[in-house]
Amino acid sequence: MGSRLLAALSATALLAACTTSQQPTDAEPEAPTPLAGELATKVTTDAMWVHLEALSRIAKANRGNRADGTPGGEASVEYVVNTLRDKGFEVSTPEFSRVETVDVGDPSLTVSGMVYQVDQASLLLPTPKGGLTGTVVQPVKPAGCAAADYRKVPKGAIAVVDDTGCSVGEKAAAASEARATAVLVVSDGGSNGSPKGLFGRNYYEGLPIPVAVIGSSAGAAARKSQKPVKLVLDGKSVKHTSQNVLAQTKTGSTENVVLVGAHLDSVTAGPGMNDNGSGVAAVLETALALGPEPAVNNAVRFAFWGAEERQAAGSIDYVYGLDRDALNDIALYLNFDMVGSPNAGYFTYDGDLSGPADANPDPDTVPYGSAGIERTLAGYLNLAGKRPADSGLNQRSDHRVFLNFGVPVGGITTGADELKTKTQARLWGGKAGQAFDPNYHKKTDTLEQVNRDAMAITGPAVAFAVATYAYSIEGVNGVPARDKRHRTPLAR
């Protein structure tokens, strides 16, 4: 970090004006916290490179990747855990399960010669080879939530129920007790999805009989059928057990937690050095530089998520597992995914929704405070000589689940497989018409391809934002106080 930037950090931070992906803008000054500038200077490229080299060695020793559920993924978890513990952090590695579909099959329901496509709800329980054939039965109460709702069920029958009243698990248990061999749940979903409570967390665990979800047309045909129907659920899924890595400072308010995260896993195709070894290195080195007992007002929790490349399973499981108090204790979430792209751009998550509408969610769903986080991060980038642009909040990464639960979010990324424009190349350098990361999700995402110059900007930016909010969540760039958070956890 140059002396000019260090001097500037000790005197001023910048608030970003509204930015767009086409026209990044300058910012206006605001006084920073002393800790923010100090921590930013400690997170150096050389220090982050130590972690990247370690992750690279792990990938090379484990078939070229660090994917979740593989030896390379497990070794990556071990490295982060040991590094944090050596610094004095108390570290937890909560396990979570995820189901991965390895063969979608061709699930179907045949009624009087007509074939209907169905959804296989019983992910871990297919029908026997060749499917099940049985007489259709309907409970007296259409929901079918209790065995007593059924009358004279012939052995081997297939039950047809609606999507109201209780969960899929309860419907399957009731039908099974009444001697049915499978359940067809009629549910059209629609814009709001299935009814709340129909599919609970890990609903597929322990289903006693196969379950399919069918539309109203298939449901009407099945209910009218006087002949046996045939159900085939031949999709194949496997269950994996994975881990998140969590560490929190022993100091600071635990009612105003600054949560900062990066996903630890790579894709199976490659070692994942930019995606997301770069984010891991920046967040991990920020944790080490901050230490387990810093002089902060708000606790900082560091998270290294498992299975992000598997539909963000780790962060989703974490948030869904929080009760009301724990969810409201999180003041904000900072996410860092891909911060060392070879043909780097400098993007902040579009918390103020100033970018294209199609890249962002409904404005009413974006938690208050997200715009302030964007200003904090954009201000640092401006100060470091990189005018930021917007990255839409609709992008897939671990911040999405926090946003959906009302937690203010923010982050930085240097770009994935999108093409850099001529305007962006003039602004940031690099090659127009080429991807920000030509190695995205490929075996060529190696250590040699990570951009040291980009990491020299983004790594300190991570530290700056973490320290800013560890010092205070108040002010023009702040987030709602604890008594203003009214988040609702998922019913469990």
Q: Tokens for 350, please give them.
A: 């579009």
Position 489 in a domain:
no
Indicate left, alpha or beta for 132 from its phi (over 0: left) and psi (-120 to 50: alpha): beta
For residue 296, the 8-state DSSP code is -
- pLDDT of 34: 85
Helices 34-42/452-471 angle, 10° precision: 150
Cα torsion 479, 483, 489, 492 to 10°: value is 150
Give the other-Cβ count within 10 Å of 134's Cβ.
Answer: 19
Position 219 in a domain:
yes
Measured CA to CA, the distance from residue 176 to residue 172 in angstroms comes to 6
Domain CATH number, residue 142: 3.50.30.30
Reference 63, options 52, 74, 79; nearest CA is 74
Q: Tokens for 28, please give them.
A: 């206006």
**In a shared domain, residues 161 and 277:** no
**In a shared domain, residues 229 and 245:** no
Q: Tokens for 278, please give them.
A: 């770069």
Position 492 in a domain:
no
Position 490 in a domain:
no
**In a shared domain, residues 273 and 357:** yes
**In a shared domain, residues 314 and 439:** yes
The continuous run of DSSP H or E covering 280 comes out as helix 279-290
**In a shared domain, residues 373 and 271:** yes
**In a shared domain, residues 85 and 118:** no
Q: Tokens for 436, please give them.
A: 């920000």
Please tell me the total count of domains within the chain.
Answer: 2
**In a shared domain, residues 85 and 153:** no
For residues 402 and 316, is the Cβ–Cβ distance under 8 A? no
Q: How many Å separate Cα 322 from the centre of its chain?
A: 15
Helical segments of 28-124, H only: 34-42, 45-60, 71-86
Low-confidence spans in the chain with pLDDT less than 70: 1-32, 190-193, 491-492
Domain CATH number, residue 344: 3.40.630.10
Catalytic residue numbers read: 308
Position 300 in a domain:
yes
For residue 33, the 8-state DSSP code is -
Q: Tokens for 229, please give them.
A: 């129907």
- pLDDT of 193: 62
Position 491 in a domain:
no
Measured CA to CA, the distance from residue 246 to residue 294 in angstroms comes to 17
DSSP, collapsed to helix, strand or coil, labels residue 381 as: helix
Q: What are the start-end ranges of the E strands in 201-320?
A: 211-214, 229-232, 236-243, 245-248, 253-263, 298-305
For residues 219 and 186, is the Cβ–Cβ distance under 8 A? yes
For residues 390 and 23, is the Cβ–Cβ distance under 8 A? no
**In a shared domain, residues 313 and 435:** yes
**In a shared domain, residues 195 and 337:** no
**In a shared domain, residues 142 and 38:** no
- pLDDT of 491: 52
Query: 215, 236, 257: which is the final residue of a domain?
Result: 236
Position 182 in a domain:
yes
**In a shared domain, residues 227 and 248:** no
Query: 236, 261, 291: which is the final residue of a domain?
Result: 236
Measured CA to CA, the distance from residue 74 to residue 53 in angstroms comes to 16
- pLDDT of 1: 44
Contacts of 95 (CB under 8 A, 6+ apart): 241, 242, 243
For residues 233 and 122, is the Cβ–Cβ distance under 8 A? yes
Is 234 exposed, middle or buried (CB count within 10 Å of its CB: 0-12, 13-18, 19+)?
middle
- pLDDT of 396: 84
**In a shared domain, residues 207 and 275:** no
Instruction: State which residues form the domain around 168.
Output: 106-236
Q: For 141-176, write each residue's pLDDT tens digit.
A: 999 999 999 999 999 999 999 999 999 999 999 999
Cα torsion 301, 31, 460, 93 to 10°: value is 0
Contacts of 328 (CB under 8 A, 6+ apart): 482, 485, 486, 487
- pLDDT of 41: 97
Query: 218, 236, 254: which is the final residue of a domain?
Result: 236
Query: How many H-runs (helices) and E-runs (strands) does the chain carry?
Result: 13, 21
